[in-house]
Amino acid sequence: MYAQLVETGVKRVKSLEEMTPEERAFQERIDAEIKIEPKNWMPDAYRQTLIRQISQHAHSEIVGMLPEGNWVTRAPTLKRKLQLMAKIQDEAGHGMYLYSAMETLGADRDEEIEKLHAGKAKYSSIFNYPTLNWADMGAVGWLVDGAAIVNQVVLQRTSYGPYSRAMIRICKEESFHQRQGYEILLTMMRHGNQAQKDMVQDAINRLWWPALMMFGPSDADSPNSAQSMAWKIKRMSNDDLRQRFIDQTVPQLEFLGCTAPDPDLKWNEERGHYDFGQINWQEFYDVLKGNGPCNRERIATRRKALEDGKWVREAAVAHAAKRQQKQNAA
């Protein structure tokens, strides 16, 4: 999940009886699975929640370019380099697509990016972990994009039309990246030497738990979920999505011939699901608060790019104005 903790500002979900006529008409539209479109009336809290969620999602795409960008100059073969470049390019495109969806809600892209750089807006905690060996490029594709897809597939049915349509487009490209990521790991495990196999296991050991954290806090600690579910912004709970991800990922892990860094992970015949160990929620909240391994570096990089590029953007604006002036004079 690329937006893992979104405040709704709502303490308790209202019943239909408690709603104003406008709110009730809105909720009935939601309940009838009719998409909300930009010009439709919507509760302010719905609008704000979506702005927070979609911008968080967009920020994640952009910050998410950095851990992979870290290896793009060092990719080991031409094929892998090309794949990684294509993936990063897609991510920039996803970011732009999501910012556009967010802007249909009346938010401003530059203002939201400003909040990100000021540390006021979140992005996915996963991108605060460093990429330390080449196998991380496979593991990020497989586990991180995999977790994102599990979330995004469900978000294709989210109640806000522009967000839902963004998810449909993005999912197509993400699934491709996920398969490529898995293939990177599979190649290293099947055809690699011992050092390469060790890289794969090491990447999984480091990214396994952070990937599970991408689904957000457990349902018991998700005060915002009830309202998001009632608005059908969210369609499944954090824990259900996390379980779905684990159930589909463990067989892939076994097929690789690798293990998860979780001694409690085992198939539960009775539940028909994998049981798994306790997530380190202290780490999760620390990373989300800005105290993860790379939080400072990630934000500093984005801030520097924006600051260093200021004169370039100003030049583009000035040139466009000059051109317009010439056109008007002609």
Partner 1 sequence: MTDNKNDLIEYLLRLGDNAMINGQRLCEWCGHAPALEEEMALMNVALDLVGQARNWYEYAAELLADGRDADQLAFTRDERDFRNTLLVEQPNGDYAVTTAKLFLFDAWHLHTLQALSASKDERIAAIAAKALKEATYHLRRSGEWVERLGDGTEESRQRMLAAIDELWRFTGDLLAGDAIQQRLATAGIAADAEAVASAWQATVEQVFGAASLPVPQPASYFYLDGKRGLHTEHLGILLAEMQFLQRAYPGATW
Site for partner 1 (CB under 8 A): which residue of 5, 10, 51, 65? Answer: 65
Site for partner 1 (CB under 8 A): which residue of 196, 205, 218, 280? Answer: 196
Residue 96 binding partner 1, by CB under 8 A: yes
* Beta strands per DSSP E along the chain: 266-268, 273-275
Residue 192 binding partner 1, by CB under 8 A: yes
Alpha-carbon distance of 150 to 146, in angstroms, equals 6
Q: Which amino acid is at 39?
A: K
What pairs with residue 275 in β-bridges? 266
* Radius of gyration over every alpha carbon of the chain, rounded to an integer in angstroms: 21
Give yes or no for a contact between 7 and 224, defined as CB atoms under 8 angstroms apart: yes
Residue 301 binding partner 1, by CB under 8 A: yes
Alpha-carbon distance of 183 to 167, in angstroms, equals 24
Site for partner 1 (CB under 8 A): which residue of 312, 327, 329, 330? Answer: 312
Q: How far is CA 129 from CA 33, 207, 208, 294, 297, in A?
A: 38, 8, 11, 6, 10
Query: Quick one: which segment of 115-123, 188-196, 205-213, 253-261 binds partner 1 (CB under 8 A)?
Result: 188-196
Number of H helices, E strands in the chain: 14, 2
CB of 62 to partner 1, least distance (A): 7
Query: Quick one: which segment of 21-29, 86-94, 170-178, 238-246 binds partner 1 (CB under 8 A)?
Result: 86-94
CB of 51 to partner 1, least distance (A): 18
Site for partner 1 (CB under 8 A): which residue of 16, 309, 324, 325? Answer: 309
Residue 119 binding partner 1, by CB under 8 A: no
> How many residues does this entry show for the chain?
330
Alpha-carbon distance of 40 to 196, in angstroms, equals 54
Residue 111 binding partner 1, by CB under 8 A: no
169 vs 266 by CB, closer to partner 1 = 169
CB of 192 to partner 1, least distance (A): 6
Chain centre distance of CA 136:
17
CB of 141 to partner 1, least distance (A): 14
Site for partner 1 (CB under 8 A): which residue of 169, 172, 266, 313? Answer: 313
CB of 31 to partner 1, least distance (A): 37
The label of the residue with tokens 């104005």 reads 321
Give yes or no for a contact between 10 and 221, defined as CB atoms under 8 angstroms apart: no
Residue 76 binding partner 1, by CB under 8 A: yes
The residue among 62, 48, 49, 42 whose CA lies nearest residue 2 is 62
Is the sign of the CA dihedral 237, 239, 245, 251 positive or negative?
negative
Query: Quick one: which segment of 31-39, 47-55, 272-280, 303-311 binds partner 1 (CB under 8 A)?
Result: 303-311
Query: Quick one: which segment of 156-164, 192-200, 207-215, 266-274 binds partner 1 (CB under 8 A)?
Result: 192-200
Alpha-carbon distance of 193 to 292, in angstroms, equals 32
Q: Which residues bind partner 1 (CB under 8 A)?
A: 62, 65-66, 68-69, 72-82, 85-86, 88-89, 92-93, 95-96, 99, 134, 184, 187-188, 191-193, 195-196, 301-302, 304-306, 308-316, 318-319, 322
